Structure 1
Amino acid sequence: TLRVIPEPAILIPIEGLTTFSAIKLGFSEIGNTFRELRRFKVILLYLCAYLLFNDGIQTVLGIAGAFAADTLGIPLVFNMATILIIQFVAAGGAMAFSRLSSAITTKKALTVSLIGWIFIVLFGVAIAPLIPPDHQDHDYQLEFNQNKGAYTVTSAPELGDSRVERLWVRESGQITSGDVLSLDNARSLISSVGKSRNSSYSISALKGPLDNERVIGGSHPSILGSGTLDWWPSLVRKTLWAPLGIKVVYQWLLLGLAVGVVMGGSQALSRSLFAQISPETRSGEFFSFFGFISRASSVFGPMLYIFVTGILDTRSAIFSILLIIVAGTIVLKWVDVDAGSRIAREEDQRIRKSF
């Protein structure tokens, strides 16, 4: 691609630059651009909007994996597969939003994509694992062996190396599929799953003296009610996920498909809109500053997420990121693209006349 795209002519070539002088010149140009932004009020307002909504979007994308694993209990392999699917969907989403921007305007199409992100965050907060309905849906599955008079572990979770999981192994022992537990040991395991602070598991026994005994640990992903916003996923689970029998992994996949649709559009349209209000003769200068803002916008969202998680919980923290995206969408409404394009053309004419 780089061999095909023609290199634009440089109006003011600079020769003899050393590494140090190039770095110094780069920072100097950023400073000059920042000072001159006062003359480009539309660009300045758009950058404020972009700083907000891009910060929210990048934070959501950044914490999604941790939220899936820690809060929802999504398996790592399924999470990676969902991320891969998102990339393919994003390509189609970018093309769809490109056509939409041609049918309406770039600003309106970008607003549509941001509204999509708002609904996606609400969707993400509403994801809730179903309470295990059947024996085969539990993490630990015990089946009574009549000949041995003991319980065989037919299924057990694969434990990692986190602090909580190590503490759980210390309490319950390293139990794997195929192990045989005496009746007392089976009772002890069931009790530990239900009472331990380190238990995020569920267990079900089939046949024998413990037939149909099912226990869910207090930290199991399906347990809701203690968080500030847990009423929302509880409501959605009761009215949608549970009646349709949609398991959490498929809820996550649906969310991933929605993310793919709007992700490509929001990224492409935000750059396209900035190009429309930037002087063509100073595109390198302004887009360098745009890139700087992109990096700066990946700081405040994570800090807010960590802060809210510390005082409340992860779902509330994700909802707080939603407020940043909403704020950016509101500021975007005030961006006058026509005025910005006119000012950009006037700047181009001024610079070209000087040569």
Structure 2
Amino acid sequence: MTTTPVLRADPSAERTRAHQRAFGWYDWANSAYVTTTGTVLIAPYLTSLARADACPDLADGEQCRTMLSVLGVPVAVGSVAPYTITVATLVSAIALLFVGAIADRHPRPTWLLGGLAWVGATAAGAMFFLDGSNWELGVGLIIVANLCLGASTVVYDALLVRVAAPDDRDKVSSRAWALGYLGGGILLALNLVLMQVHETFGISYTMAVRINLLSAGLWWALFTLIPVIGLRRLRGTTAAPVERSAGIVGGSVAQLRTTFGELRRYPHTLLFLLAYLFFNDGIQTVISSASLYGSEALGFDTSQLIITILLVQFVAFGGALAFGVIAGRIGAKRTVLGGIVMWTLVVTFAYFVPAGAFGIWLVCAVFIGTVMGGTQALSRSLYSQLVPAGKESSFFSFYQAMERGTSWFGTLAFGLTYQLTGSYRPAILVTLAFFVAGGLILTRVNMRRGIEMAGNEQPRVV
């Protein structure tokens, strides 16, 4: 068999302090889009564009009841944004599997990271041109930006294995995640200031929103330069050579088929993915439903919810760092399990927050910020220990695809509970089932055995 000549990577020479510092900046770069655009601005703004198209003569305070036609299917105006995000999520879940296989065989992974990031940032920046009633353009840009965000994150997560030794990954991942929360929080704060004082600059509220959307894309593109330049010496692939005739794409598809077949050889890796499916779904449901719970169940206004979001962002910065320090002493698995216990306490606490008690609500927000970043950062570093060499991106594509492809379970349970009970309090309480299930499954993951089966070096603590 004639194989394609490839430059073999040498992770031992790539695990430098400079590479680890450069690595974390991609969390800082893409968090601007996640926080400003994905979390705060795009859903209500896209809904306003759709409303302007469906009901151009609608008076203030009236509800638009006209249906829009999307590929011949009637869609309510208020459903355009959530349906768009759902489609983008499902498309990403499928596409990421192929991206992971390609990334494992790409000789310059940082070029691939940069290319995907800059296409996504271009789509994010182009949201500046969303105006009037052109919601269709918004739908397309959201799908492209979210797809590129997920794809670039697959490449990025896999690089953690190359820049950090097993004993350093918890620290490196936690610092990167903390940096992301800090960057996202800083830009969001600046964006919200512009929205509050837009008249001072002689611009409309709509123009302020459009400028903020543009700023998220520019931030993403500009700060991606740091990891791309800082990691430019990471060349070669850890994947095994393939037939010369197959090339990168053909060999990648073959690897994807092989990876699917090999998954059963790594039962503890699969068990971790199953645990992650549940407890991460609980985390995502709490994050996505917190504003709705705060406004509808507790009666807080928009300004109070904005303060809540900013508080969570900045507290999460410290929380991620703290969890990284704790993991270095007692191990990442125990720390994540402790984080899951904290999540169950936070949700229970939120259930009992009295309506209108904003001070108590902020205490709840502090607890959420403390546990949120650390749990997610350590999950990434834990999973990296269970990934077999040469298949880092392929296995991280499963990690990301599972996060995106199943992240609607919790929100569905939340919505169904509200529909059956007519109250958001039992709806938020239903997320406890996801944390309990995820925690119990995680206790059954034998990390030492899983690391051994993956053929990886054993860390000092895990």
* TM-score, normalising length: structure 2: 0.46
Counterpart Cα distance in 2 of 1:336 and 1:314: 37
Q: Following TM superposition, by how much is the alpha carbon of 1:282 offset from its aligned partner in structure 2, in angstroms?
A: 1.5
What is the aligned partner in structure 2 of residue 207 from structure 1? none
Higher relative contact order (CA 8 A, sep 6+): 1
Q: Is the partner of 1:273 in helix, strand or coil?
A: helix
Greater percentage in strand: 1
| Cα 1:34/1:87, change in 2 over 3 Å | same
Measured after TM superposition, the shift of residue 318 of structure 1 is 1.3
Aligned to 1:317: 427
SS in 2 for 1:51: helix
Verify the 8 A CA contact 1:54 1:297 in the aligned structure 2. Answer: no
1:326 CA drift (Å): 0.7
2:281–2:410 Cα contact (<8 Å) kept: yes
Instruction: Report what 2:390 is aligned to.
Output: 281
Write out per-residue CA displacement over residues 156-203 of structure 1, whole angstroms, 9 at most, x where no aligned residue. xxxxxxxxxxxxxxxxxxxxxxxxxxxxxxxxxxxxxxxxxxxxxxxx
Aligned ranges 1:1-355 → 2 under 5 Å: 1=22, 2=227, 3-5=229-231, 6-11=233-238, 12=240, 22=249, 29-129=255-355, 248-312=357-421, 313-345=423-455
Contact 1:30 1:289 in 2 (8 A): no
Q: Within 1, Cα distance between the matches of 2:251 and 2:359?
A: 51
**5+ residue gaps, structure 1:** 130-246, 348-355
TM-fit CA distance, 1:78: 1.3
Structure 2 unaligned runs (5+)?
Answer: 1-21, 23-226, 458-462
Per-residue Cα deviation, 1:304-351 (whole angstroms, up to 9, x for no partner): 11111111121111111111111100100000000011111169xxxx
The CA distance in 1 between the partners of 2:426 and 2:270, in whole Å, is 31
Closer, same or farther: CA 268–71 of 1 in aligned 2, 3 Å: same
Structure 2 CA distance, aligned partners of 1:52 and 1:346? 26
Structure 1 residue 26, shift from structure 2 partner? 6.1
Name the CA distance, whole Å, in 2 between partners of 1:81 and 1:102: 32
1:91 Cα deviation after fit = 1.1
Relative to its length, the structure with more helix (as a share) is: 2
Tell me how far apart the structure 2 counterparts of residues 292 and 303 of structure 1 sit (CA, whole Å): 18
Matches of 2:351 and 2:424, distance apart in 1: 9
Q: Post-superposition shift, 1:277?
A: 1.3
Q: Evaluate the alpha carbon distance shift between residue 17 and residue 88 of structure 1 in structure 2; reply closer, same or farther with a 3 A threshold.
A: farther
Q: SS at 1:128's partner residue?
A: coil
Q: Secondary structure at the match of 2:318?
A: helix
Given that 1:128 and 1:248 are in contact with CA atoms closer than 8 Å, whether structure 2 keeps it comes out as yes
Say if 1:51 and 1:297, in contact at 8 Å, map to a contact too.
Answer: yes
One-letter code of the match for 1:9?
A: G
Equivalents in 1 of 2:396, 2:343: separation in Å?
24
Other-structure match for 1:133:
none
In 1, Cα distance between the equivalents of 2:336 and 2:287?
Answer: 18
Classify 1:55/1:27 alpha carbon distance in 2 versus 1 (closer, same or farther; 3 Å): farther
Q: Is contact 1:106–1:269 with CA below 8 Å preserved after alignment?
A: yes
- In 2, Cα distance between the equivalents of 1:71 and 1:60? 14
- 2:259, 2:230 → 1: CA distance? 30
Q: CA deviation at 1:276?
A: 1.1
Contact 2:385 2:456 in 1 (8 A): no
Change (3 A) 1:255 1:38: same
Whether the 8 Å CA contact 1:37–1:44 is kept in 2: the answer is: yes
Distance in 1, Cα, partners of 2:426 & 2:291: 17
RMSD, aligned CA: 2.4
What is the CA distance between 1:31 and its match in structure 2? 4.6
Letter aligned with residue 91 of structure 1: F
Shift in Å, 1:82: 1.3
Structure 1: distance between partners of 2:258 and 2:296: 45
The alignment of Structure 1 onto Structure 2 pairs a total of residues equal to 228
Q: Deviations over 1:82-117 (max 9, x none)?
A: 111211111111110001001101100000111111
Please give the alpha-carbon distance, in whole angstroms, between the structure 2 residues aligned to 1:4 and 1:50. Answer: 31
Is residue 389–residue 456 contact of structure 2 (8 Å, CA) maintained in 1?
no
Provide, for residues 198-228 of structure 1, a one-character-per-residue CA deviation record: whole Å limited to 9, x for no partner.
xxxxxxxxxxxxxxxxxxxxxxxxxxxxxxx
CA distance in 2, matches of 1:250, 1:104: 33
Alignment identity in percent?
34
**CA deviation after TM superposition for structure 1 residue 16, in Å:** 9.4
